[in-house]
Amino acid sequence: MAESFEGYVERIVFRNAENGYTVLSLSQEQEELTCVGTFTFINEGEYIEVTGTLVEHQLYGEQLKVESYQVKEPEDAVSMERYLGSGAIKGVGPALAARIVKKFKLDSFRVIEEEPERLAEIKGISERKAREIAEQFEDKREMRNAMMFLQQYGISNSLGLKIYNEYGPTIYHVLKENPYRLAEDIKGVGFKLADEIARKAGINVNADFRVKAGIIYTLSLASQSGHTYVPEDLLIRKASELLGLTIEEIEKHLTDMALDKRLVMKETEEGKAIYNSTLYYMEMNCARMLLDLNLSYQVDIPAMERRILGIEELDEIELDEMQRAAVVEGSRNGVLIITGGPGTGKTTTINTLIRLFESEGMDIMLGAPTGRAAKRMSETTGYEAQTIHRMLELKASVEDGEGMHFERNETNPLETDVIIIDEMSMVDIYLFHALLKALVVGTRLILVGDINQLPSVGPGNVLRDIIDSKSFPVVELKKIFRQAAESDIVLNAHKINEGKQIALDNKSMDFFMLQRMDVNQIISVVIQLIQEKMPRYVHAEPYDIQVLTPMRKGELGVERLNRILQQYLNPPDESKKEKEIAGGIFREGDKVMQVKNNYQLEWELTNSYGIVVEKGTGVFNGDCGIIKEINFFAELVTVQFEEEKLVEYRFTDLDELELAYAVTVHKSQGSEYPAVVIPVLSGPRMLFTRNILYTAVTRAKSCVTLVGNSEVIKYMIENVNNQKRYTSLDKRIEEMNGMI
């Protein structure tokens, strides 16, 4: 039976910041009552009325399971003082609260609300502070009301706060008029949640804005799978499934939305293609800018070849015919693409190009899409390489409302003669667009990559489309050089790519297959490999040995493997603090990965004296680090990323991190590890493909160990289930180049 109690919140015993689950101690006249439930923004010292059922907890005795609660405005002087001094109002502690209430007595709250300037009559309160107190007082009240309101729609605390911060008091209006705005404006609110809110708010299922929001959402889902457009019938079908409406009810909105420029419809040979406008114009602008860069330079070829020969002599290397062709093309053209698999001499070619351009006094910049790829490029070329984000000077300015942007763009272009980008297969259309915008005609652009790697996570198939457009010089390196050919990793990678079976007989020095048919056996072998065998074999730390698997779910999926590997590689220890998160825990010492691009997150680089020597923003999808500290007081987790960058995560932002003892092959793109261990037993056909195996194997520098069923490996080599990406940069280039 439900009962009601009133009292002060004496103490917040526990609070889960993510879902608002709280245990608090309520002080009543005689005794204290423990209350558990989901409370939004209740501070110690507040006076509340709670309703719920009294239950007997095995360990903690009697407690109230709260079903609903209400914050009561304090009505007597003691309560007012208690509330003001509770910490709810920043800058007002118990002493100041006591002075306020002593002066204004029962009138205290009214004064704060209506005549805040009078607060300045109190010692220790300036006029400015008086205003601040009044503003906070007002904000707190409104925010609390808004939170309670949002709670009805099942919105958690942290999300509620984000929503409130975006709309402020207009939130009620937004929810009533068009809750789908939330899906567009707020990170963390998807169409599904907005739709749920709309349903609760009684909005019609075939309301125009619902259908339109559903269509935009379908396009955005497609872009998350890498597509820049969707064929019309497929789009209509997907949207109709999502919205539960007929094909006709969807179809009739498309033209309207095209007129409003929310989407673009384009006739193609295969029917109509529908684009989110932004993506359409991005492809189009990329095509234009790339063609603009594609100048031909007059070069004295014999003289150029002599210069190349000179560099070869100095470097004591003899370039292969194709490599030399690449260097010559690089000097003759504004745009050049160099592709090739592992060990085909891409880096050696880049190095010769750098030498050549340098000898002509040109400025060169090197870039790659991820931190790890940039680091590797620096190591192999001996020149400083940066991430493309850094090169373009990504700035996140939340304060001025601009959000994130690149400082380098058409009005402030990169001042350099040559730009070389490595791991180009990972660059999506957004990043490529940003890069091209920051280049002026006359800058040479050299794009290097392996088209057989998995395409970018983000939308686009940029490298392949540029090659397919047949509008730019492309040099494909095929020969595997002797040194590389000594490695079975390289040889097997090429075989896999060509669809040839590989020898799994363990005669190799760097490529092993451990046949195990049982999940538990596989896991125990993986642990042994990481803890003992591999670190010794490749002279690395256990943390550098990376487990790669195609899938997230399942007995050998990333999620389960991480939980198990954490137990063995970073077990619980009294000296290590732990923070519970949805579905697991983070512990000091854990290996973690950032799982989305966060352009606003700040990092700091300190020197050995702990002094900050550099600061910046941006932590990206796939960046790995170690948890250095968990601070419960400040509610922060500090992670040390590559190159010793320190990043602080608020507890509420921990959903951006995941354990990284095991990662998916997709997330490992662009990274290289001393050794990789790949458990393979069974899983969805779509994920057991040649492409995935190729990418996984090519992540290893010194050793690959496959653990599981060799038949599955054979199957993967045969399974060319390359899912089609709907992208059209190639078509836009061809159109603009007058080819179609």
Ligand X SMILES: Nc1ncnc2c1ncn2[C@@H]1O[C@H](COP(=O)(O)OP(=O)(O)OP(=O)(O)O)[C@@H](O)[C@H]1O
* Residues contributing to the annotated binding site: 343-347
Compute the Cα dihedral for 493, 499, 500, 505 and give only its sign.
positive
# residues near ligand X by CB under 6 A: 16
Site for ligand X in 183-212 (CB under 6 A): none
Strand partners, 590: none
> Do 147 and 169 contact (CB within 8 A), yes or no?
no
Stretch that binds ligand X, among 10-18, 180-188, 339-347, 683-691 (CB under 6 A): 339-347
Least separation, in Å, of the C-beta of 673 and ligand X? Answer: 13
Stretch that binds ligand X, among 13-21, 95-103, 215-223, 312-320 (CB under 6 A): 312-320
Whichever of 37 and 345 has its CB closer to ligand X, that residue is: 345
Question: Is position 379 an interface residue for ligand X (rule: CB under 6 A)?
Answer: no
Whichever of 484 and 696 has its CB closer to ligand X, that residue is: 484
Among 317, 396, 538, 646, interactor with ligand X by CB under 6 A: 317
Among 347, 409, 528, 664, interactor with ligand X by CB under 6 A: 347
Whichever of 96 and 491 has its CB closer to ligand X, that residue is: 491
Stretch that binds ligand X, among 342-350, 502-510, 537-545, 632-640 (CB under 6 A): 342-350
Stretch that binds ligand X, among 83-91, 240-248, 335-343, 727-735 (CB under 6 A): 335-343
Question: Is position 318 an interface residue for ligand X (rule: CB under 6 A)?
Answer: yes
The 3-class secondary structure across 73-89, one letter per residue, is CCCCHHHHHHHHCCCCC
Strand partners, 49: 6, 70
Question: Is position 483 an interface residue for ligand X (rule: CB under 6 A)?
Answer: yes
Site for ligand X in 103-142 (CB under 6 A): none
Least separation, in Å, of the C-beta of 538 and ligand X? Answer: 16
Least separation, in Å, of the C-beta of 343 and ligand X? Answer: 4
Shortest CA distance to 8 belongs to which of 70, 61, 68, 79? 79
Stretch that binds ligand X, among 192-200, 318-326, 364-372, 593-601 (CB under 6 A): 318-326
Question: Is position 290 an interface residue for ligand X (rule: CB under 6 A)?
Answer: no
Residue 169: C-alpha distances to residues 175, 332, 367 (Å): 11, 60, 45
Burial of 416 from C-beta contacts in 10 A (0-12 / 13-18 / 19+): middle
Stretch that binds ligand X, among 24-32, 148-156, 267-275, 313-321 (CB under 6 A): 313-321
Residue environment code for 76-107, b if the CB has 16+ CB neighbours within 10 A, otherwise e: eeebbbbbbbbebbeebeeebbebbbeebeee
Least separation, in Å, of the C-beta of 342 and ligand X? Answer: 4
With tokens 């009078």, the residue in question is: 118
Stretch that binds ligand X, among 291-299, 389-397, 479-487, 567-575 (CB under 6 A): 479-487
Q: In terms of residues, how long is the chain?
A: 740
Stretch that binds ligand X, among 178-186, 269-277, 314-322, 431-439 (CB under 6 A): 314-322
Say which amino acid occupies 57.
Answer: H
Q: CB neighbours of 732 closer than 8 A, spacing ≥ 6?
A: 283, 284, 286, 287
Question: Is position 340 an interface residue for ligand X (rule: CB under 6 A)?
Answer: yes
Question: Is position 344 an interface residue for ligand X (rule: CB under 6 A)?
Answer: yes
Going by their DSSP bridges, the two strands 364-368 and 418-421 should be labelled as parallel
Least separation, in Å, of the C-beta of 323 and ligand X? Answer: 6
CB atoms within 10 A of CB 3: 10
Question: Is position 323 an interface residue for ligand X (rule: CB under 6 A)?
Answer: yes
Among 175, 219, 273, 319, interactor with ligand X by CB under 6 A: 319
Question: Is position 535 an interface residue for ligand X (rule: CB under 6 A)?
Answer: no
Whichever of 343 and 369 has its CB closer to ligand X, that residue is: 343
Whichever of 548 and 569 has its CB closer to ligand X, that residue is: 548
> Do 144 and 71 contact (CB within 8 A), yes or no?
yes
Please provide the distance, in angstroms rounded to a whole number, between the alpha carbons at the two ends of the chain.
76
Q: What is the SS3 assignment for 362?
A: coil
Among 346, 355, 494, 690, interactor with ligand X by CB under 6 A: 346
Compute the Cα dihedral for 594, 599, 603, 605 and give only its sign.
positive
Among 348, 546, 549, 598, interactor with ligand X by CB under 6 A: 348
Give the chain's largest Cα–Cα span. Answer: 99
Site for ligand X in 601-640 (CB under 6 A): none
Question: Is position 484 an interface residue for ligand X (rule: CB under 6 A)?
Answer: yes
Whichever of 143 and 448 has its CB closer to ligand X, that residue is: 448
Distance, in Å, from the CA atom of 428 to the CA atom of 424, rounded to the nearest integer, reads 9
Compute the Cα dihedral for 106, 109, 110, 114 and give only its sign.
positive
Question: Is position 491 an interface residue for ligand X (rule: CB under 6 A)?
Answer: no
Least separation, in Å, of the C-beta of 496 and ligand X? Answer: 14
Whichever of 246 and 483 has its CB closer to ligand X, that residue is: 483
Whichever of 100 and 700 has its CB closer to ligand X, that residue is: 700
> Do 704 and 584 contact (CB within 8 A), yes or no?
no
Strands (E), 597-689: 598-606, 612-619, 624-631, 636-641, 645-650, 657-659, 662-664, 673-680
Whichever of 480 and 502 has its CB closer to ligand X, that residue is: 480
Distance, in Å, from the CA atom of 410 to the CA atom of 579, rounded to the nearest integer, reads 45
Least separation, in Å, of the C-beta of 391 and ligand X? Answer: 20
Least separation, in Å, of the C-beta of 312 and ligand X? Answer: 9
The 3-class secondary structure across 186-246, one letter per residue, is CCCCCHHHHHHHHHHCCCCCCCHHHHHHHHHHHHHHHHHCCCCEEEHHHHHHHHHHHHCCC
Residue 545: C-alpha distances to residues 177, 490, 534, 624 (Å): 53, 18, 7, 13
Question: Is position 369 an interface residue for ligand X (rule: CB under 6 A)?
Answer: no
Among 481, 568, 599, 715, interactor with ligand X by CB under 6 A: 481
Shortest CA distance to 8 belongs to which of 81, 100, 65? 81
Among 107, 166, 320, 604, interactor with ligand X by CB under 6 A: 320
Which segments are annotated as binding site for ATP? 343-347
Stretch that binds ligand X, among 49-57, 131-139, 160-168, 481-489 (CB under 6 A): 481-489
Among 160, 345, 367, 622, interactor with ligand X by CB under 6 A: 345
Site residues (CB under 6 A) for ligand X?
Answer: 317-320, 323, 340, 342-348, 481, 483-484
